[in-house]
Structure 1
């Protein structure tokens, strides 16, 4: 097999990280594994395995013909059989199929909020789907949406996986008191809902108990980010809530934390929860998307409705006041992740679906 992963950017996001994980995970399993970043490089470029063949297109617009033909040349030269397009890169894969019809196209949907959209919201996707050989999805809600709204029958659920392999130096050291750090690993953007975590932290006066909150993820320095920073300043929380931006040494960061939190109002399959599990962190988590399949309430973590701030506060209070409970949840979640979402298991599933498509 000769497989190419396509992703629009290599900034640290869930879909982006999975494209890199697949490219790396396939290197020793198939004849040729490659990755193309279409619009933007980023922090994840440094995580590509040495033997992954890489191309950056620097695509400037939707109809950038130069980029499309560069991609076709790369595919022809390397005799690629399947193009595995993640997220919004499906449109470039669609154009590639038009000018290079022998290629097989797989679209991989990671965006959980898609289930709240209609066909009319996705006309470009609907048109492109005529040329897809298959669609991979990260949860069963998305599987049902694709089967209802797109024109194809080969739709497969494939879980995400996380890896504890780290190739970067430990450079990020969290402020705050040991054993009293809460970490949120999520880019600063909708629908990650950081403000609900900040409101809960402030109203509960968690900082007065010695706890601190650490937001790790890309800061776009936009209105979303400004709201968070204004809230922190306005409530004098600068000594207990910290923003770090994108970081490579994620495992090192999580090793310094005591609780992981995620409050998104929409999710596909959050890789963050798997990373929390591998780091043996107890988790307080939103109940949207696939989250409740990974986190079983009062067993491998605590769940809440992200629109109910009182629920968030109650679950946080349970977690910070009971160390024995935290240890129990952390062990259960680690076992769930290792048993069900390991790299080897998911790559085996992926290879079986590639074989069907070929």
Structure 2
């Protein structure tokens, strides 16, 4: 009987996001007769605190906290985190270390190398790149340093997984990773595990949520004017960060409102840009048109409340949210960034527009609001594509080949 392999997954933060979902899906769904799984990650903060650890625990996956991991750069904390990881390596004795997120990549890479040197044990090391940090809008000197750090980080690993072919090509073109080492594996979703609430019920629940908590962009005591049955609803899910491009989405909504087009906008997510977005909503007098729902765990179950899904992101890898919206049979408008063109083919199963361009985004939204047949066509075609091409089973099958 073949001995089971022990895998240690490492991630910087255990908040619930795309990278965390990636780790969770692999950790919980790998064949239990072939793999023993352990997860280690930094402590979570904010409304999503503890969700990943809790969900892993429910599935009997051991979770180790790396107390010194944090998002901001702190050399001392990262030095201590390296020793925390080294301790976990000695305690768990894994056959494979699989790391996600940039900061974890560097620190865990060094710790894994030390572990191999100190124990003479074989240890396969894998690093998943969800998106290259040097593609963000930054000063030139920062981009140079990030590229150097990324190149050094990749040296510690036997294989680099990119979640898109685009990510792989960017890594090769910038001489950060070799052709031999980089392997693209698309994210997939657990098709049988997504339970959507139907349109009428999900709208009713969201309306009740807004009435109970009050839309924070409204004046104190005001009631949101949100009709749950007849209006067109458009919306998105995602963290309120600059990279998600919500500022351009709200600008696009303002342009359409100025033209007298009636619809409501729902944004599900929390994050550091919340106050800025609230200010933007108020300054544009959109308090009764744009609703911030805050963080909702398993927000995908409410997607059928929408008529159109809009994804305005500036920087992405291969977003799960688009796949979830496709499985919910929604027509999708997205920006062209990262691996998204490997998901959606423009004017075939969705609409793609350039990022950071509220004018183009508004034009695409208006086009779909005014054309129900086109909405239905895109929704049906992309739903079929998700079912055929982007399953979690396929992702796991391709990942296991790298573990072998």
> Corresponding residue for 2:131?
111
Matches within 5 A, 1:75-114: 75-88=89-102, 89-101=104-116, 102=121, 103-112=123-132, 114=134
Radius of gyration: which is bigger? Answer: 2
Aligned-partner Cα distance in 2 for 1:345–1:72: 32
C-alpha displacement at 1:282, in angstroms?
Answer: 0.9
Q: CA 1:149/1:8 → structure 2, altered by over 3 Å: closer, same or farther?
A: same
> Corresponding residue for 1:285?
334
> Corresponding residue for 2:160?
135
Answer yes or no: is 1:309 the counterpart of 2:367.
no
Aligned-partner Cα distance in 1 for 2:144–2:163: 19
Answer yes or no: is 1:255 the counterpart of 2:282.
no
Matches within 5 A, 1:151-190: 152=178, 153-164=180-191, 165=193, 173-175=205-207, 176=226, 177-178=228-229, 180-190=232-242
Aligned-partner Cα distance in 2 for 1:289–1:98: 30
**After the TM superposition, which of the residue ranges 260-269 and 337-346 deviates more from structure 2?**
260-269
Q: CA 1:134/1:52 → structure 2, altered by over 3 Å: closer, same or farther?
A: same
CA shift digits 1:59-92 (9 cap, x unpaired): 1554445543443343333331111111121122
Match of 1:332 among 364, 376, 381: 381
Aligned length: 352
CA shift digits 1:200-229 (9 cap, x unpaired): 111111896542111112222xxx333211
Unaligned runs of 5+ in 1: none
3-state DSSP of counterpart to 1:16: helix
C-alpha displacement at 1:262, in angstroms?
Answer: 0.7
3-state DSSP of counterpart to 2:346: coil
C-alpha displacement at 1:329, in angstroms?
Answer: 1.0
Aligned-partner Cα distance in 2 for 1:109–1:290: 12
Aligned-partner Cα distance in 1 for 2:33–2:76: 34
Q: CA 1:216/1:94 → structure 2, altered by over 3 Å: closer, same or farther?
A: same
**After the TM superposition, which of the residue ranges 286-295 and 166-175 deviates more from structure 2?**
166-175
CA shift digits 1:143-192 (9 cap, x unpaired): 12323423653110010112352599999932333362212111111211
Aligned-partner Cα distance in 1 for 2:320–2:258: 27
> Corresponding residue for 2:65?
56
CA shift digits 1:324-354 (9 cap, x unpaired): 2212211111111111110111100000111
Task: Please tell me whether the aligned partners of residues 119 and 126 of structure 1 are also in contact (alpha carbons under 8 angstroms).
Answer: no
- CA RMSD across the alignment: 2.7
C-alpha displacement at 1:112, in angstroms?
Answer: 4.7
Task: Please tell me whether the aligned partners of residues 4 and 84 of structure 1 are also in contact (alpha carbons under 8 angstroms).
Answer: yes
> Corresponding residue for 1:191?
243
Task: Please tell me whether the aligned partners of residues 130 and 317 of structure 2 are also in contact (alpha carbons under 8 angstroms).
Answer: yes
Task: Please tell me whether the aligned partners of residues 196 and 303 of structure 2 are also in contact (alpha carbons under 8 angstroms).
Answer: no
CA shift digits 1:212-251 (9 cap, x unpaired): 111112222xxx3332111211222112211122211323
> Corresponding residue for 1:24?
28
Matches within 5 A, 1:202-351: 202-205=254-257, 209-220=261-272, 224-351=273-400
C-alpha displacement at 1:98, in angstroms?
Answer: 3.1
Q: CA 1:333/1:62 → structure 2, altered by over 3 Å: closer, same or farther?
A: farther
Unaligned runs of 5+ in 2: 208-225
Aligned-partner Cα distance in 1 for 2:373–2:258: 19
Q: CA 1:79/1:15 → structure 2, altered by over 3 Å: closer, same or farther?
A: same
Task: Please tell me whether the aligned partners of residues 93 and 105 of structure 1 are also in contact (alpha carbons under 8 angstroms).
Answer: no
3-state DSSP of counterpart to 1:40: coil
3-state DSSP of counterpart to 2:316: coil
Aligned-partner Cα distance in 1 for 2:112–2:378: 47
